[in-house]
Amino acid sequence: MILRLYLPILKILLIDRATRKFLIGVGIGLAFSMAVILCALGIMDGFDREMRQKLRSVSGDIQIISRHGQLSSLEIEKDFEPISAMIPDVRRTTVYQTEAFLIREQNSRGILLRSVVPEEYSNAMGIKIELRIGQIALGKELAQYLGVGLGDEVVLALPQGQEGSKMLPTLNAFSVHQLLDHGLFEFDSRVAYLNLDDLRTIIGNAWASDESLGNYIFVTLPEGKQAEVSRYIEQLKQKLPKHYQVRPFWSDFGVLLEAVKIEKTVLALVLQVIVLVSLFNVFGFIVYIHEKKAQEIFLFRAMGLSDKQLFILWPCFLVTLWFLSCLVSLLFVQIFNLLLHNLDLLKVPGEIYHLGRLDIKLGLFEYLLVFAPALAQIIVLALFGLRRFMNRPIISGLRMEFS
């Protein structure tokens, strides 16, 4: 019965153009204010998710560092044997990571050199590395800084030690074979990859032919287990020898990610002021309806519309306005996200924000954080408007109708 009355009453209330324009303006204003908050939260949440995803792609889910420095592959296999059954289906790769200098004519830069077994590293990390003897892979920002392209030659300067003649670095020329895009400015501007066989030659072939060396182990968890990084880290700390340091992939950026999380919550609360301002327009619309459409509403009451029915219909009308505004705000968010992806004007400097482009990522929590307070305030305004209607007797309203 009540639902059958809803549309006819709505048509009567919105029969004139001025009321419809006022209502559309109120709805768009409310939608835009909610979209602003969603975009702000979505950018911060997108930064967090994208940052974590990129960090995973360059460091795996878990980093294990040898405090003893270089370890042979046979030693590592022996240490990992007790935990193979504990974490099945994991992918891991052993990397020798050190600092070095890369030189190209008059340009040089300190780099983070990763010496890898290409096939093993590609399978574990998902980054395709194809390096033969005498070849090197560079991050795209590093290559741009040095002014090199594919096939160009660069000189790698590696320290030998601090004893006698070893105080001088070794200089070795390599051909640039790959330019890599990690998606993180720190890695693209600093990391270079070398075939582990080349490193064995540079530092001296002190290892057996069936051994490799490394000081970092990157572990990638299977799908579905990536949310349990902390639990696996605790288990690894208990099982591995004490000379291993075990840490999560986000450890280098933990403070930044935690700050973004806190700022997102604070920002959501502060920006509720924008929604509150737009709700003043809703309040103005309620006052407008009370002044311009009070006669029609009192006439409905005189014709049999009970207070209970009015108590249901009026909030339904404003909740419908809220619901349509939420849908329009989602459209605004998609438009802004499209602009983020395609407008060079909105491209952010990677050296400041780590990521070249930002993306809007929203979850259920963000939607509730924006839409729920707006709904609560809409309902409060609806009850306020009802109180003004129901406090006046029907005969008073009818006098307005026929005066």
Model pLDDT, residue 153: 92
Categorise residue 125: left if φ over 0, alpha if ψ from -120 to 50, beta otherwise.
alpha
The token pair at 121 is 């590293």
Calpha distance 185→298 (Å, rounded): 66
Measured in residues, the chain has a length of 403
Encode the chain (403 residues) as per-residue pLDDT tens digits: 455 655 566 666 666 777 778 888 888 888 888 898 888 888 888 888 888 888 888 888 888 888 877 777 778 778 777 776 666 677 888 888 888 899 988 888 899 999 998 888 888 888 888 888 999 999 998 999 999 989 899 999 887 654 545 556 788 899 999 999 888 888 888 899 999 888 888 876 555 555 667 888 888 887 777 777 888 888 888 888 888 888 888 887 778 778 878 877 787 777 777 777 777 777 777 777 666 666 666 556 555 555 566 666 777 777 888 899 999 999 999 998 888 877 776 666 655 556 766 778 888 888 888 888 888 888 887 777 666 665 555 555 545 444 4
Burial letters for 288-302: b for 16+ Cβ neighbours within 10 Å, e otherwise?
Answer: ebeeebbeebbbbbe
Query: What pLDDT is stored for residue 305 in this prediction?
Result: 57
pLDDT score for 401:
47
Q: The tokens of 154 are what? A: 């660069």
What is the longest distance spanned by two Cα atoms in the chain?
109
DSSP 375-403: HHHHHHHHHHHHHHHHTS-HHHHHHHHH-
How is residue 271 written in tokens?
């920006």
The full set of domain ranges for the chain reads 2-54+257-402, 61-248
Between CA 148 and CA 323 the distance in angstroms is 55
Q: Which two tokens stand for residue 9?
A: 């009453």
pLDDT at 359: 77
Report the alpha-carbon distance of residue 222 to residue 232 in Å, rounded.
12
Please state the pTM of the whole predicted model. Answer: 0.71
Per the structure block, which two tokens stand in for 8?
């006819």
Residue with tokens 């890695």: 187
Closest CA to 332 of 360, 364, 363: 360
Tell me the sheet residues that pair with 220.
91
